[in-house]
Amino acid sequence: MDKEKKYCIGCGILLQDENMTQEGYTTSIDNDICSRCFRMRNYGEYQIITKSNEEYIDILKSVNKTNDLVLYMVDLLNIDKDLTYIRNYINNKVILVLNKRDILPKSVKDNKIIEYFRNMDLDFQDIIVVSPNKNYNIDELLLMIKKYKTSKNVYVVGHTNVGKSTLINKLMKNYSDNKCELTMSPLPSTTLNKISIKLNDDLTLVDTPGLVDRGNIVNYVDASLLKKINPKKEIKPKTYQLKKGQCLIIGDLIRIDYIEGNKNSFTVFMSNDLKIERFNSESVDKLKDMFSQSLDVLFHEDIVISGLGFVKVVEKAKIIVYADRNIDIFTRRSLI
Ligand SMILES: Nc1nc2c(ncn2[C@@H]2O[C@H](COP(=O)(O)OP(=O)(O)OP(=O)(O)O)[C@@H](O)[C@H]2O)c(=O)[nH]1
Ligand SMILES: [Mg+2]
């Protein structure tokens, strides 16, 4: 007789007790979570699994077959390069949920952030700024969900690491007696499968694995550096007045050389734990052996370093950025 199928309540993977080296292994099938989740939760030991993005797209396609409401989550420090991407796959009603509000400076108003996204003319039902870690705007989000939901089911989708599982855990903690312990971690691909969580008789939240962004720096650094990169507290932006011929070196990871332009202001929005140094470009060779790319920054644009944060530049500038060649680096209209 076939064994009954049982899935990990932390990450959604099919549990098995036969092969230690395979996904979903647990010492006994009587357990509710897999060994990987157990180790992440109890020892902070992370085992990285690289998910294929085809699975993410298949999940979006399956969501599209429903008429259900979707929460599309975005990390404010790492806003997806293309927010219209999910519209290639789903026609559902979508609320844009901007997460990790707590790490952007308090002086920036929510309205200004929301305005920025409204100006993009995206096809979303509504936009909200939240922080489950700080329990910020979670009541407001639940009201919004109630307003727009079309059935009992509400899907939570978005890139890996944006905080989907954290949000569902928070909603459950605040509004339900049902137990819910989705695994959360600072590493990519924590959730491995769809997981339905019943908040009450009228609302079931569906957690999903996130899209892996190959251009994100988290894929190329070790765990100790990851701790430094991931801001835990409100970011204190650091402003540098630069003249052409000067450069900034950030966390010994990124070098930005100011090549052409007038006296200019560069404000770094990244983890407070990263060391930032300013030099005359000619006097230092540090990081110059890294992959380089030249960028034309327009008036009031950000230089985005995927996974690390961004640098707001005020005036027009020609710059060269040195970094690992896999990291996605681009410009956009200033967020702040
Ligand atoms: N600063 C801050 N960090 C948050 C917040 N919400 C989630 N995080 C952090 O973001 C990281 C990723 O959280 P998860 O909930 O595992 O993200 P996910 O979207 O479920 O990721 P996948 O399952 O890999 O797709 C964790 O380190 C969380 O602590 C928040 O409100 N503020
Ligand atoms: Mg998750």
Q: Please give the structure tokens belonging to residue 35.
A: 């060994």
pLDDT the model gives residue 180: 85
Same domain, 6 and 117: no
What percent of the chain lies above the pLDDT cut of 90?
85
Q: Using alpha carbons, list the distances in angstroms from residue 193 to 2, 90, 278.
A: 22, 18, 45
User: Looking at the domain assignment, is residue 123 inside a domain?
Assistant: yes
Supply the pTM of this predicted model.
Answer: 0.94
pLDDT the model gives residue 188: 87
Same domain, 246 and 200: no
Q: Which atom of ligand 1 is nearest to the CA of 191?
A: 23
Q: Does pLDDT of 283 surpass 60?
A: yes
Same domain, 125 and 83: yes
Q: CATH number, domain at 196?
A: 3.40.50.300
Neighbours of ion ligand 2 (CB under 5 A): 164-165, 190-191
- Which of 178, 213, 248 is the endpoint of a domain? 213
- In angstroms, the CA 46 to CA 38 distance is 10
Same domain, 63 and 179: yes
Q: Does pLDDT of 66 surpass 60?
A: yes
Average pLDDT of 322-332?
96
The mean pLDDT of the chain is 94
Amino acid 57 reads I
Same domain, 42 and 57: no
Q: How far is the CA of 161 from the centre of ligand 2 (A)?
A: 7
Same domain, 58 and 162: yes
Print the SS3 string covering 54-79.
HHHHHHHHHHHCCCCEEEEEEECCEC
Average pLDDT of 232-261?
96
| Number of domains the chain is built from | 3
Mutate to test the pocket of ligand 1, among 106, 166, 194, 211 (most ligand atoms within 8 A of CB): 166
Helices (H) and strands (E) in the chain, counts: 6, 16
Q: Does pLDDT of 244 surpass 80?
A: yes
pLDDT digits (tens, 9 = 90+) for 93-112: 999 999 999 999 999 999 99
Q: Please give the structure tokens belonging to residue 73.
A: 């989550």
Q: Does pLDDT of 227 surpass 90?
A: no
Same domain, 260 and 179: no
Same domain, 64 and 209: yes
Residue ranges lining ligand 1, Cβ < 6 Å: 99-100, 102-103, 131-133, 160-166, 184-186, 188-191, 209-210
Give the domain range for residue 27: 1-47
User: Looking at the domain assignment, is residue 165 inside a domain?
Assistant: yes
User: Looking at the domain assignment, is residue 166 inside a domain?
Assistant: yes
Q: Does pLDDT of 44 surpass 90?
A: no
User: Looking at the domain assignment, is residue 222 inside a domain?
Assistant: no
User: Looking at the domain assignment, is residue 232 inside a domain?
Assistant: no
Q: How far is the CA of 286 from the centre of ligand 1 (A)?
A: 33
Q: Does pLDDT of 1 surpass 60?
A: no
pLDDT the model gives residue 49: 80
Provide the β-strand partners of residue 35. Answer: none
Average pLDDT of 76-80?
94
Q: Does pLDDT of 310 surpass 90?
A: yes
User: Looking at the domain assignment, is residue 228 inside a domain?
Assistant: no
- In angstroms, the CA 291 to CA 192 distance is 33
- Which of 148, 180, 213 is the endpoint of a domain? 213
pLDDT the model gives residue 178: 86
Q: Of the given ranges (50-54, 179-183, 273-277), which has the lowest mean pLDDT?
A: 50-54
Q: Please give the structure tokens belonging to residue 108.
A: 């920036």
pLDDT the model gives residue 28: 93
Same domain, 153 and 282: no
- Tell me the pLDDT band of 3, cut-offs 50, 70 and 90: low
Same domain, 59 and 118: yes
Q: How far is the CA of 21 from the centre of ligand 1 (A)?
A: 26
Same domain, 13 and 118: no
User: Looking at the domain assignment, is residue 225 inside a domain?
Assistant: no
Report the residue count for the chain: 336
User: Looking at the domain assignment, is residue 208 inside a domain?
Assistant: yes
Q: Using alpha carbons, list the distances in angstroms from residue 197 to 88, 122, 159, 225, 248.
A: 27, 29, 20, 33, 46
Same domain, 165 and 182: yes
Q: Does pLDDT of 2 surpass 70?
A: no
